[in-house]
Structure 1
Amino acid sequence: MRLRPITALSLAAASMLLMAGCSGSAGDSASPSTGAAADLCAAQAPEGDASKAVSVSGDAGTPGEATFTSPLDVSELQTTVVDEGSGDAVAAGDFISYALSAYSAETGEKLVTVGYEPGELLPAQISPDNPLGQLLGCGKPGERVVAAFPATPASDSTQAAAAEVYVVDLLDTVPTAAWGDAQEPVAGMPAVELADDGAPTITIPDAAAPTETQVATLKQGDGYTVQDGDYVLIQYSGARWSNGEVFDETWKDGGTPYSGATTSFVSGFQKALVGFPVGSQVEVVIPPAEGYGEGEINTTDLKGETLVFVVDILGAQHVTAQQ
């Protein structure tokens, strides 16, 4: 998933967001071990002369201004913690919200500021092996870090990148289940029962499947409202109306959320995303016409099936943040 084109975002920043902001399909990431959590603390790049030479105005959580004498000599990745934050430290495998400003180390020019407004960046999973872990380590919400990136030469797969300076804010950890206010069940919709971790169990009613898509809010969030074409970070579980069988879900194998564009899903599923605020849990019943099409019902595909999904909306990034 391309979050921002290189023309709008510095090369190093684009690389960082591409690597950290896309979670892939369900089950791609295993739950972190205690050793991985310890490694996250050690993963943060060490302090150096370049990162220490940068001064930042303002408080973490708001776009500050970095000043330094340019050109800044950056020989290796360096970080300096400006504000240590407070509360519980993040752990490997956590999803976090974050924001950053990037500057040219050569000229001091600000290249981009992103993530401080709702809908600008998807939450991202932090680990010792991705750039967020190397910049933020096992920081606490409110941590602000100055990072200095060295120039990198071109390779067969990447363009050359100039040296850059970042101000990166760890805003908060993001739950992996919807956190909105519970709503009253809607009569006739499949019943949903939640496990302690938020995983839903769907019970199909003893009734004929509806012929039109039906949508119900199970939890009402209060975050950014998803728009058509946005990228979303979601958990979901899907069951067949015909027999109640769960055919796909993100909750297995540690419950790793999935990210993708709203337009990448079937039209019925999109109705459980567009117009709903982040933090919401939405149930949708999708007849074949807005699912996988008509056909003879069988166990090998979803043609002819009326589908039931329970969707937790954990984050969203507006399409204009990619243009």
Structure 2
Amino acid sequence: MSDSDKTPSVKLPDARDISRTSFTPHGINRGKGSLKRPANKAELRKQRIKQTGVGLLVVAIIAGVAGGAWALTRPEQNFTVTGAFGKDPKISWPEVAPYTKGKTEKLITGSGDALKEGDTAFIHFETYQWTGAKEHEEKSSSYAEGAATTLPVGGEGSGFKRLDDAVKTAKVGDRYLLTIPVSELGDTAEQTDLKKTDNVVFVLDVVSKQYEITGTQAEQTDAALPKVTPNKDKIGDAPTVEIPKVDPPKELVVKTLIEGTGPVTKSGQTLVTNYAGKIWRDGKEFDSSWANGAPANFPIGVGQVISGWDQALVGAKVGSRLLLVIPSESGYPDGNESAGIKKGDTLVFVVDVLGAA
């Protein structure tokens, strides 16, 4: 994410400028070297507002619904949207002028969890600027960017009231078509390059929600493995990890400490996690999303992170907390100097799987 305070040249929501609640975690990234991280949640929020220009705080999950076509026929319109849920949609446009009144159309009714105030929705979206009967331009697509984004349910929301209202009443698996005249944007319109007669058009898929870590942690009886103690105030906050003074195991160890209630993760998805990593040798914490103030997101099962993560996290249930002990050959066989990891070091992670898309 750029630190520039300048208004972006494309002032409609741009998936490249939309935050994905993420930093690149150097403890699991395959490459070497130090990486920049955001300072804290408040600063992240300020950066998102500045960069989107319209205050679209769309931040990283799972639904499999067969594709189809939905014809929305009224005297003044005839939109047709085709394409599988969660995949890049195709729109047939009505040859009419943009609307003077906004519309919210539910194209698919999902069967997943209903969203509620305080949740974080994971969405795919595509936006268009609609300027005339035969004039419309795609401005942004999270489908094309290859990663779902997230949107807080309630609170500050996105800056688009019609979008926020749709998500407030949505279920995972819903698809919407939203047409939003400039007149609905209020002060936000002044920050865009829209003309007074234009519409913003969204196709929106609610692919998942972010799960909290809840429940009782399983008892740990193996004294040869690290002991994880939950935060006494809130179980989803950073736990304490104590590494025993014994030799580490030679094989990959994956222990489910808390089993989530969400869907099972699949190879190729983007995971959203909180995690902390330590070095077995000296107990040093070399990386932590909790300490850095924001969950991390990354593709899983496709060789973009250390192999121990690819092996351990594909097939985990969203909402789970896992203990991972990763031998050197599944982590950093040659070490990672910037993280203080030496050749041959065994790594220990506690990972909370918050979402997947």
Q: TM-score band (shorter)?
A: 0.5 to 0.7
Distance of aligned partners of 1:97 and 1:29 in 2 relative to their CA distance in 1, 3 Å threshold: farther
> Who is 1:6 aligned against?
none
Distance of aligned partners of 1:288 and 1:102 in 2 relative to their CA distance in 1, 3 Å threshold: same
Alpha-carbon offset, residue 71 of structure 1: 2.9
Q: How many residues in Structure 1 have an aligned counterpart in Structure 2?
A: 261
2:213 paired with 1:214: no
What's the CA shift string for 1:145-185, capped at 9, x where partnerless? 834489xxxxxxxxxxx97622547788624x534664343
Give the distance between the partners of 1:235 and 1:142, measured in 2 at CA: 27
Alpha-carbon offset, residue 223 of structure 1: 2.2
Alpha-carbon offset, residue 313 of structure 1: 1.1
> Who is 1:28 aligned against?
38
- Equivalent AA in structure 1 for residue 42 of structure 2: P
Structure 1: 5+ residue stretches without partners: 2-10, 45-52, 57-61, 151-161, 318-323
Alpha-carbon offset, residue 241 of structure 1: 0.7
Give the distance between the partners of 2:347 and 2:14, measured in 1 at CA: 37
Alpha-carbon offset, residue 126 of structure 1: 4.6
Give the distance between the partners of 1:55 and 1:221, measured in 2 at CA: 43
What's the CA shift string for 1:35-92, capped at 9, x where partnerless? 97xx9xx958xxxxxxxx8899xxxxx99xx9995434279xx966789xx99645xx
Distance of aligned partners of 1:210 and 1:294 in 2 relative to their CA distance in 1, 3 Å threshold: farther
Give the distance between the partners of 1:291 and 1:171, measured in 2 at CA: 31
Matches within 5 A, 1:86-125: 89-90=117-118, 95-98=120-123, 122=148, 124-125=150-151
Q: CA RMSD in A?
A: 5.1
Percent identity of paired positions between Structure 1 and Structure 2: 24
Give the distance between the partners of 1:226 and 1:71, measured in 2 at CA: 43
State whether residues 16 and 131 of structure 1, in contact with CA within 8 Å, keep that contact through their aligned partners in structure 2.
Answer: no
Give the distance between the partners of 1:202 and 1:79, measured in 2 at CA: 52
Instruction: Give the TM-score normalised by structure 1.
Output: 0.60
- Equivalent AA in structure 1 for residue 169 of structure 2: G
> Who is 2:309 aligned against?
269
Distance of aligned partners of 1:184 and 1:163 in 2 relative to their CA distance in 1, 3 Å threshold: same
Give the distance between the partners of 1:273 and 1:202, measured in 2 at CA: 19
> Who is 1:260 aligned against?
298
2:326 paired with 1:286: yes
Residue of 338, 343, 347 corresponding to 1:307: 347
Give the distance between the partners of 1:249 and 1:303, measured in 2 at CA: 21
> Who is 2:178 aligned against?
146
Matches within 5 A, 1:217-232: 217-232=256-271
Alpha-carbon offset, residue 208 of structure 1: 1.0
Give the distance between the partners of 1:67 and 1:307, measured in 2 at CA: 52
SS in 1 for 2:308: helix
Give the distance between the partners of 1:231 and 1:314, measured in 2 at CA: 11
> Who is 1:185 aligned against?
220
Give the distance between the partners of 1:165 and 1:126, measured in 2 at CA: 20
